Structure 1
Amino acid sequence: MTAYVTFYPLGNADSTLLELANKQLLLIDYGNQRNPDDPYDKRCDLAKELRAALRKAGQTHFRVVCFTHLDDDHCQRMGEFFWLQHSTAYQGGDRVEIDEMWVPACALTETNLDGDARLIRQEARHRLWEKKGIRIFSRADRLKTWMASQGMDFESRKHLFVDAGELVPGFAKDGPEAVEFFVHSPFAWRQDETVVVDRNGDSIVFQAVFADADKETYALFGSDVDYSVLTEIVNITRRYGNDGRLRWDLLKLFHHCSYLSLGPDRGVTETEAVPAVKWLFETQGRNRCTIVSPSKPIPLAGTPEDDSTQPPHRQAANHHRRIVREKLGTFTVTMEQNANPPKPLRYEIDRYGIALALAAPSVATAATSKPARQG
């Protein structure tokens, strides 16, 4: 039962599509930041690509859309694309429906929002009120007081919450979807101690385990978390003896190849990872692993981009290149391909592992590449 994972070239923005074994589609983030009025903008038309993917899979809606957090680069222009239940202003036409929305708890409670972030909050609140079509990533008890203030009964809705250390209900390795999702973040206790919402620190992080026959393939999706949150994730996971929950064959790189996802200091040539993150990369990445950086091209030494505080960072990329080189794997940047403009990166996952399957899934006549399997 073959699954696919597609990464879209969106600059420093995120959107990843999972096509499960039963053809259902799960979308992680929707950062459509391409400027349609700029003919030189090489970022893909995300709406067009996703509509093509829906047609190819024979689907008319998404089984899940996960918004890992509410920064623009993860949700921009979602209000133009999706059918939203909370307002008729976002219904009709060719909008695409969402069976189940995944959000971190702070997406419900954050105030002073506007634009697409506010739309996600309002849609999530509506679905929670209706008691369906929503999964909230946090310990349910954390929102008990807030729910009471909104006139919501807690007991009838607590089953909609998924805490760190749990599997997301509705998916199983031995089910038709042939995948399970293990939640690593957000930590409810961490949010209890946070006065101001830290979107990156409180964003959704999970491991996906794909099954085909007796083969399992592991993927980590880490949003924009930094090294301190990754350290917490590693330490807690290892404390409970769950090292396998941080195993990976495929890694969607954290925060667009920022050095801050490795450690506090950028370094001169290569960023040095703090001990827990070093273990995550050097020990948990398996032979022939793949790292995909959803980012702009890696800057060259001495260029103005190389001095920027914004990712991607050359020193972090050098760390990742070394890791995959030692493991006979690959490091790929979504905006740094031979194609001009860059094409979506589509990986095939089956009993033989993971391999780059199709560089341009919207082009029906493209040939399928079968390099050495990874995992």
Structure 2
Amino acid sequence: MTASLVFFPVDNGDMALIKLDNGQHILIDINIRAAADDPDDDTYDVAADLKERLPRDDQDRLYVDAFLLSHPDGDHITGLSRHFYLGPPEDFPEDNEDDLILIREMWSSPIVFRRASATHKLGEEAKAWKKEARRRVALYREIGASVGDGDRILLMGKDKDGKTDDIMDIVIEQYELITRVNKGEEGQFEGRLLAPMVVEDDDEELIDLLEKNNSSVIIRFSIAGDGYKDMCRFLTGGDAGVAIWERLWNILDEDGNTDWLSYDVMETPHHCSWRTLSYDRWSELGEKVKVCEEARSALSQIRDGAVIVASCKPIKKDDSNPPHERAKREYVSMVEGECDRFICTSEYSADEDRALEFKIYHAGTAKKLGMTAKKTAAVVGVSGIATAARAHGRK
């Protein structure tokens, strides 16, 4: 099978799907709005598109091998209860009238949820995810590694106060590598966990920083293509704010590990928000704002021909933030000023009536490859795929 990377058009939200060489799928966030589920609305039907791409098990259930939730904001988890099964797999409904998707393995961060709870109330979908994560952790504590598909969970980062010390076999610590999905084979990918950061209770300055800046899960994936390792590096960071990227750069730079941030494809944090790149308020300073150089350095570690994807509504000057036109200009400068290497998912979908999809293959050198009839991108190991347009409501 051919590995791929898909970005669904979900307005200001995130929803990406990694398909590995061996056919396993990793879903990162969802934002399946009610309008997208309405057959009488012309909003792109991302749920139908997703389900067409997923395999079925021997019980005819759709499934993802892993579902990573970067953080529990609504625009990263909307549609969870409508389209995914939550609960013990043995209780999966036999009729399955809604064609629910089984999550074989959850990837979730206890720290991100703890900070979200401390700063604002969780929505109903986030509460449902948290409940299911707790069920899976409790089951692991009860029966250990014998848990099966639909019961597995990996925790992205340690919890504080030693709360995860007894289950470290399912905990990925900061800077560690994830090397397989749902007990599958190794060699298909590596995912380095770069955030969230664990802090001590007495570090009030850092706690304040993390509460004011969304401390999402940040992972840099290295994905194999055509059997060759490291053909596509993909950096994803949810809604992580400027202070997170600044701090991450300073740590990795001091340790000589800035290559951990290098990428062929990056999804802009927080939907191309200006607040990812600067502490300055555009509303107060306008064009006099200054970019945080450390945050910019963290987000600009491109490999030859890298592409930056903004998962957001169409980007317009003087519109609400996010997205922000000044942020777009900064990202375009990161890809050597080549506008065609910066792609907004909503704008792409409006032009092409499809999700933005990259095919990951084996290529020894950078190669100019067609994204559309009018747009091109030079990418190492990544090419645009011309897929058939998907009609709304297609099942």
Task: Name the amino acid aligned to 1:97.
Answer: L
Distance 2:5 2:200 in 1: 30
Q: 1:134 aligns with which of 126, 137, 153?
A: 153
Could you tell me which residue of structure 2 aligns to residue 278 of structure 1? Answer: 296
1:321 has 2:323 as partner: no
The equivalent residue for 2:347 is 336
Task: Find the counterpart in structure 2 of residue 372 from structure 1.
Answer: none
Q: Report the counterpart of residue 305 of structure 2 in structure 1.
A: 288
Is the contact between residue 264 and residue 302 of structure 2 (CA under 8 Å) also seen in structure 1?
A: yes
Aligned 1:40-119 pairs, distance under 5 A: 41-42=42-43, 44-55=44-55, 60-85=62-87, 91-92=93-94, 93=96, 94-106=99-111, 109=114, 111=117, 112-119=121-128
Report SS of the residue matched to 2:30.
coil
Residue 239 of structure 2 is aligned to residue 243 of structure 1:
no
CA distance in 1, matches of 2:72, 2:132: 13
Aligned match of 2:272:
257
Supply the RMSD in Å over aligned alpha carbons.
3.3
Aligned to 2:368: none
Q: Distance in 2 between matches of 1:195 and 1:64?
A: 31
Per-residue CA deviations over 1:234-287 (Å, capped at 9, x if unaligned) read 1112222212111111001110010011112236459643111232344x1122
Q: Distance in 1 between matches of 2:248 and 2:40?
A: 42
Distance apart, 1:60 and its partner CA: 3.3
Question: For each residue in 1:205-253, what CA deviation from the matched residue of structure 2 results, as whole angstroms up to 9, or x when unmatched?
Answer: 0100123436532110011011110111111122222121111110011
In terms of mean alpha carbon deviation, does 191-200 or 106-115 score higher? 191-200
SS class of match (2:178)? coil
2:386 corresponds to 1:358: yes
Distance 1:125 1:210, change over 3 A: same
Residues paired across the two proteins, number? 345
Pair 74,360 (structure 1): closer, same or farther in 2 beyond 3 Å: farther
TM-score normalised by structure 1 residue count: 0.81
Q: Normalising to structure 2: TM-score of the pair?
A: 0.77
Match of 2:367 in 1: none
2:243 paired with 1:228: yes
What percent of counterpart residues are identical? 25
Contact 1:289 1:329 in 2 (8 A): no
Alignment-derived partner of residue 356 in structure 2:
345
1:127-155 Cα shifts (integer Å, max 9, x gaps): 00011511111225x1535x7xxxxxx52
Q: Tell me if structure 2 keeps the 8 A contact 1:224–1:255.
A: yes
Alpha-carbon distance in structure 1 between the residues aligned to 2:185 and 2:91: 37
Matched residue type, 2:309:
V
CA contact (8 A) 2:71 2:113 kept: no
One of 185, 189, 194 as aligned partner of 1:184: 194
Asked if the contact 2:61/2:100 (under 8 Å) is kept, the reply is no
The structural deviation recorded for 1:313 is: 0.6
Q: SS in structure 2 opposite 1:184? A: strand
Change (3 A) 1:74 1:89: farther
What is the alpha-carbon distance in structure 2 between the residues aligned to residue 332 and residue 361 of structure 1? Answer: 18
Amino acid at match of 1:348: K
Task: Note if 1:210 corresponds to 2:215.
Answer: no
For 1:324 and 1:118, locate their aligned partners in 2 and report how far apart those are by CA, in whole Å. Answer: 39
Q: For the Cα contact (< 8 Å) 1:12–1:296, is it kept in 2?
A: yes
Report the secondary structure of 1:245's partner residue: helix
Structure 2 Cα separation of the partners of residues 313 and 280 of structure 1 = 19
Q: Is the 8 A contact 2:179 2:187 kept in 1?
A: no
Residue 107 of structure 2 aligns to a residue in which SS? strand
Whole-Å Cα distance in 2 between the matches of residues 95 and 56 of structure 1?
A: 11
Distance, in Å, in 2 between the alignment partners of 1:63 and 1:181 is: 15
Which runs of 5 or more structure 1 residues have no equivalent in the other structure? 148-153, 301-305, 364-375
The verdict on how the C-alpha distance between 1:196 and 1:208 changes in structure 2, with shifts beyond 3 A counting, is closer
